[in-house]
Amino acid sequence: MAAVKKAAVKKVASPVVKKAADPAVMKHVFFFGAGKAEAKGENLTKNVLGGKGLGLMEMTSIGIPVPAGFTISIQTCAEYYRLGCKLPKTLAGEVREALAKLEKATGKKLGDSKDPLLVSVRSGAARSMPGMLETILNLGLNDVSVEGLATKTGNPRFAYDSYRRFIQMFSTTAMGLSKDHMEDLLHTMKHDAGVMLDTELTAEQLKKLCDQFKAFYAKKKGEAFPQDPADQLWGAVMAVFNSWEAEKAVTYRRVEKITDLIGTAVNVVQMVFGNKGDGSGTGVCFTRDPNSGANEFYGDYLINAQGEDVVAGIRTPLKLETLKDQMPGVYDQLLAVRAILESYYHEMQDLEFTIEDGKLYMLQCRTGKRSPAASFTIAVDQATKALLSKAEANRLAKKGYLPKKWADVATSLVLTKEEAVARITSDDIERLFYPVIDTRRVSLQRLKDVRLGGGINAVPGAACGQVVFTAAEAESLAAKDIKAILVRKETSPEDVGGMHAAQGILTATGGKTSHAAVVARGWGKCCIVGCEALNINYEEKFMTLGGQRINQGDCITLDGSAGEVYNGELPLKDPELPASFATLMGWADKLRKIKVRTNADTPYDAENAIRMGAEGIGLCRTEHMFFDTEERRLAIQEMIVAETLESRKAALNKLLPFQKADFVGIFKAMDGKPVTIRLIDPPLHEFTPKDKVGIDKLSAITGLSADKIRHRCEQLHESNPMLGHRGCRLCITYPEILDMQVTAIIEAAVEVAAKGGKVLPEIMIPLAIDRKELKILTDQARGVADAIIKRAKSKVRYMVGTMIEIPRAALLANEIAEVAEFFSFGTNDLTQMTLGLSRDDAGRFLPVYVMTEKEGGKGIFKADPFQSLDQSGVGELVKLGIERGRSTRPNLKIGICGEHGGEAESVKFCVRAGMDYVSCSPYRVPIARLAAAHAALSGK
């Protein structure tokens, strides 16, 4: 069994594009049918056959009933593009051969006038790209064979409906004709017939519609609709290939970060029909519950229906359990298929099946999409419980449906704990924490009814509020505590205030790296971009979407995870964490070798982060405390405008008790875990009063004239504040700030320790640039700290270290490490300086650097360097910094506290680079824990 398991796990591992074989001798077409599959060995992969093709091929080869067919390889598609959109020469012969095998296996002939073979032609890339690539069904129908089908099935309506659908699909998909006109024809026909639904049209009416379609085709293309199935087949194959480079598909791949794919396969498969009467049916099912992850067979089916009927939702499907009564044999067979496929793939599968006259056909199997909670539950279950009980396995085996080999697997554990951890992604975690639409309180039907449209799911989570069309309006609603959704054609830096004030953001244009997406992601704020159907009338303050007019002030709901927009206010809920989350994270924690800390500025944040599994604070930004109350804001402002050292010290003394109280709270919350506290970092102008009211208040307190205060504030203006008077440069020019902050930290530590608490403060000096600069400040900090500790006769221990966020500091890390006990890489600023890229300004051109050429960009960067660490540039400096730092202080403690500390790829980089910990915002702590575990696994 172990061998089976191992092989299977290998198969589902992330696909690596293998070098294509020599095209001259390359096999392009692989037949499957009658229990045999042509693809073997290195050809039996997603990268040759695509996901769908592989599934069909594998299902065939392990004895599962699958309609016969053949797959044209992905390499053929790549070759097609290499040849300038021409098919390889040998392809025609290979297809002919495969077709012959197919006709033999099915006993039918394509275009036959009596009992025609019909096929579907479907795309299938190495990764699922739902709805992005083309599909053509019922291929093989023509004016002759449609009659054969009518006769054979005894259902002319079915035959002509199939034919009109085929003509419609082929004309628009393969030949590029307008969809609208054909829809209009259908609409007119229904109108003339006085019916509402397509299904109400008679065979005669459908036949007439076929004629209208064909006439339209002939008019537009200057030739008759192809009657030769071979012509139809080649047209369909080319249509699938062409859809690969269609704009929407290219965008999808970039957004989903699957740009390494080289093309799509084409699957030509015998059509089977679930709509041949009550012995037929069709269904979709999951080997486990995709919502809860429970070990229950889960699905829907319809009797006497085709696949599209299930999808179209016109008839309400039945729960899969009821099939047990309706067709007990088929149901048991399906149960066995479920067990075999999970045993084979070791993964929850999403299956499509059709029952044609009581015979079960599996049409597709693929790894099933699931809710975030289900991801965890399934992985944990697979590593702790068997799929089937022995009794159930025996029962199915006895019926001959479940071979012993698979029964053994289905009654065992299919994953190790390590494999379970490896299977979870950072997206699974991320999605677990965002608010969601409460589907217990809103029916799927209602959801469908109020859906307005969709866009690109830029930032997950759900949000609802009143629609506003300007940033100012969002801010003014927020000021009144009214929830707003900011709707814009696009956003620009001046909208940032309103974006922050809004609950969610919806834009008509832009992709996942547009300004709106990037900014919203920074805050974890629900955001949908690229909602192309959205139309905004700024002047009259309304929008239209999905044919509805929404006025300013009307409520809408965004589902950022799905990229869906709904009319009205839908109920939201905070997600509940499944028990499996804790179990799996526990396994991950045992695997990882790097610590995970959090960025937290308040006792509240700290407590929250502890719950998320944080093992310390990697970044406590002291200046955030200054904004907390007006009293604090005024005290820091007083410090800034002080004209003498004495008045500056007096103002700082007002701040001292606030800071100290905050640190006491944080130390208590962290209970002995290390707390890295960064001294004041931003330039002073960030604290100054911005309006007359603020200036007057400060004037009243300080006795300085308003003019003087205004002048001082103006003086603080900087051309490039990012590179200005900030960080430890403030403490170099105003040493008394450091004195106050270190006093607050150490007095708080001493106080907590005196009451028996554990404390481990790490004082972090930001923006260091030189050994001597840092020496001056660390000496000063130690002087202040040691005096307090000595006076209090305390045994508190502390460390003093620095942030490495300026390239020079990384380059001279050997010198810096002589005076710093720890390093924390501030990769936000390090990225800005290493790339010469201001995060606040890059919105104007960075998208062009990240978007591909097809998207109108230049594809210079693979990812936004502010989201995922630029490993070749910034990463090089990080590696140099670590190496050089440890060259003079081998036990140097090293971490990261930029945004990257919570991004999976960046965390893996940090592990490889030899850091001791990563630190990130509380809600990203689990992501970092998981990524660290993954890094440990891939290091094995």
Give residues in contact with a copy of itself (CB under 8 A). 492-494, 715, 718-725, 729, 732-733, 767, 769-770, 772-773, 776, 805-808, 811-812, 829, 832-838, 840-842, 844-845, 848-849, 858-861, 870, 872-874, 876-877
**Residues in Cβ contact with 129 at an 8 Å cutoff, skipping those fewer than 6 apart:** 123, 249, 252, 253, 256, 258
Both tokens assigned to 139: 């291929």
Judged by CB, which is closer to a copy of itself: 591, or 679? 679
Contact 462, 557 (CB under 8 A): yes
**CB burial of residue 893 (10 Å; 0-12, 13-18, 19+):** buried
Q: For residues 251 and 40, what is the distance between their CA atoms, to the nearest angstrom?
A: 33
* b (16+ CB within 10 A) / e for 545-572: beeeebebebbbbbbbbebbbbbeebeb
First to last CA, the chain: 23
Q: Maximum CA pair distance of the chain?
A: 103
Q: For residues 741 and 755, what is the distance between their CA atoms, to the nearest angstrom?
A: 22
For the bound state, the minimum distance from the C-beta of residue 863 to a copy of itself, rounded and expressed in Å, comes to 13
Neighbouring C-alpha atoms within 13 Å toward the C-beta of 272: 24
Instruction: Give me the catalytic one of 28, 515, 685, 934.
Output: 515
Neighbouring C-alpha atoms within 13 Å toward the C-beta of 324: 9
Instruction: Give me the catalytic one of 897, 900, 910, 920.
Output: 897
Q: For residues 325 and 684, what is the distance between their CA atoms, to the nearest angstrom?
A: 75
Judged by CB, which is closer to a copy of itself: 370, or 712? 712
Contact 339, 407 (CB under 8 A): yes
Contact 249, 298 (CB under 8 A): no
Judged by CB, which is closer to a copy of itself: 177, or 519? 519
**669 forms bridges with which residues in the sheet?**
none
Q: For residues 373 and 574, what is the distance between their CA atoms, to the nearest angstrom?
A: 13
Length of the chain as a residue count: 940
Contact 738, 679 (CB under 8 A): yes
515 classed as catalytic: yes
* b (16+ CB within 10 A) / e for 579-615: ebbebbbebbbebbebbbbbbbbbbebbbbbbebbbb
Q: For residues 108 and 117, what is the distance between their CA atoms, to the nearest angstrom?
A: 5
Q: Sort strands 893-896 and 917-920 into parallel, antiparallel or unpaired.
A: parallel
Q: For residues 230 and 268, what is the distance between their CA atoms, to the nearest angstrom?
A: 12
Q: Is the dihedral angle over the CA atoms 647, 767, 826, 925 positive or is it negative?
A: negative
For the bound state, the minimum distance from the C-beta of residue 238 to a copy of itself, rounded and expressed in Å, comes to 31
Q: For residues 406 and 401, what is the distance between their CA atoms, to the nearest angstrom?
A: 10
* b (16+ CB within 10 A) / e for 52-89: bbbbbbbbbbbebebbbbbbbbbbbbbbbeeeeeebbe
Residue located via tokens 């990240």: 850
Contact 452, 548 (CB under 8 A): yes
For the bound state, the minimum distance from the C-beta of residue 493 to a copy of itself, rounded and expressed in Å, comes to 8
Contact 263, 241 (CB under 8 A): yes
**CB burial of residue 539 (10 Å; 0-12, 13-18, 19+):** exposed
Q: How many helices, marked H, and strands, marked E, lie in the chain?
A: 38, 34
Q: For residues 622 and 737, what is the distance between their CA atoms, to the nearest angstrom?
A: 12
**Residues in Cβ contact with 289 at an 8 Å cutoff, skipping those fewer than 6 apart:** 295, 296, 298, 374
Q: For residues 538 and 237, what is the distance between their CA atoms, to the nearest angstrom?
A: 45
Q: Which amino acids are annotated catalytic?
A: 515, 897
